[in-house]
Amino acid sequence: MKKSILHLVLDKALSTKRPHDTQQTRDFTLWLWDNLPAHLRDDAMVDLAGNLHVDSRTDINQATLFVAHVDTVHKTVGKNRIRKTRSHWFADGDVLGADDGAGVAMLMHLIHSGIPAYYIFTQGEEKGGIGAKHLTDDHAELLAQFDRAIAFDRRGIDSIITHQGWGRCCSDQFGSALCDAIGEIDFDLMHLNDDSGIYTDTAEFVDIIPECTNISIGYDKEHTQNESLNIVYFNRLAIACTEIRWDDLPVVRDPAIRESLAFDGFWQDDLDSNEFYNALLDARYGHHRPLVDLVSQYVHPDDPILMARHLNPYQVNLRTIDQMLDDIDSMVDTDIESHIYRLADDMYSHS
């Protein structure tokens, strides 16, 4: 029996280690190009960052963008050995690379199923969204054509991501409509809006595209040798995703408005301006750790360690820090919370 494109791509992806900016990863990207349906192959293109673009839209009302990243966190290139059980897949002694090989396979499956949309296979997500940043920098007009950007790059089997980092990426209405749409097709797939997303490519698009999300694709413990893929969930989601009417999902969020993650205020009470002042002062003189820790704790108490990895303190302007120090010095009624969100915004790899 001929293997489905879904499993052909999944097998190929997971059996290949794909660190960013290696020949092996470039070859894998070209292999995807070669395996597109014949009628889409000629018009596909690779941009200057190495992202592979595939446009299967058939009319101008279609406004859905799907993205998945081709790179993995592997340290070396070469073959990856996969171990399969009936319910889960693993790698022997290394990262599995279902983050985001599973998403890549899902996109190829949607393309071959004739779902009209724009598809981008991105580079360097694991290096801070290199490919996605290139899209916002050099292809903003393209991104502006879309009402929604969908990534399949979330762990677990039940999340529709509504927030990444500390900010909203899609409306609750959009998230709930997507949960309902999947559930109506397959009663056993139960998703909920999840505001604890950290980072994926679609976080880069939130200033341009109204509804940006990330859907659980079934991997777990990504970035470790214990990474697994729930193949039962993955297969069922793949079937459901070909039946969703993506372009009918509601478009509610205004990308011009930044909305921070609502939080319960417990850190607000805990945080004294002294601690904040000292962290700012440390950062002023090149010791960034306390400020990064404080900001991560504040904006993402669920997983501050992971959050911290996405914060780059060198993106903060020294004048911003000086201004905040002045504010506290001059005893004006300082809004520490807004200062911290400002810093998070400057430091986040979405910039």
Q: Which residues bind Zn ion (CB under 5 A)?
A: 99-100, 153
Cα separation, 106 vs 334, whole angstroms:
48
Distance between CA 105 and CA 35 in Å, rounded? 11
Closer residue to Zn ion, CB minimum distance, 17 or 339: 17
In angstroms, what is the minimal distance from the CB of 298 to Zn ion? Answer: 25
Using the minimum distance from each CB to Zn ion, give the nearer residue, 73 or 181: 73
Q: Which is nearer to Zn ion, 153 or 327 (CB)?
A: 153
H or E element that contains 27: helix 23-34
How many residues does this entry show for the chain?
Answer: 351
Instruction: Tell me 92's DSSP state.
Output: S
Cβ(252)–Cβ(211) under 8 Å? yes
Residues 224 and 98: beta-carbon distance below 8 Å: no
Q: Which is closer to Zn ion, CB of 218 or CB of 313? A: 218
DSSP letter at 19 equals B
Distance of closest approach, residue 153 Cβ to Zn ion, in angstroms: 4
Task: Kindly state the smallest distance separating residue 51's Cβ from Zn ion, in Å.
Answer: 15
Name the minimum Å distance from CB 87 to Zn ion: 22
d(CA 299, CA 165): 8
In whole angstroms, the minimum distance from the beta carbon of 125 to Zn ion comes to: 5
Give DSSP secondary structure letters for 164-204. ETTEE-S-HHHHHHHHHHHHHH-TT---EEE--B---GGGG
Residues 6+ apart with CB under 8 A from 138: 47, 48
Give the shortest CB-286-to-Zn ion separation in angstroms: 31
Nearer to Zn ion, 222 or 346 (CB): 222
> Which H helix or E strand runs over 238?
helix 231-241
- CB of 133: closest distance to Zn ion in angstroms? 15
| Cβ nearer to Zn ion, comparing 100 with 195 | 100
78 three-class SS: strand
Q: Are 111 and 40 in contact (CB under 8 A)?
A: yes
Q: By C-beta, is 147 or 220 nearer to Zn ion?
A: 220
User: CB 329 → Zn ion: shortest distance, Å?
Assistant: 42
Which secondary-structure segment (H or E) carries 342? helix 336-347
Helix axes 231-241, 5-14, angle to 10 degrees: 140
Query: Between residues 101 and 167, which has the closer beta carbon with respect to Zn ion?
Result: 101
Strand pairing class (64-69; 118-122): parallel
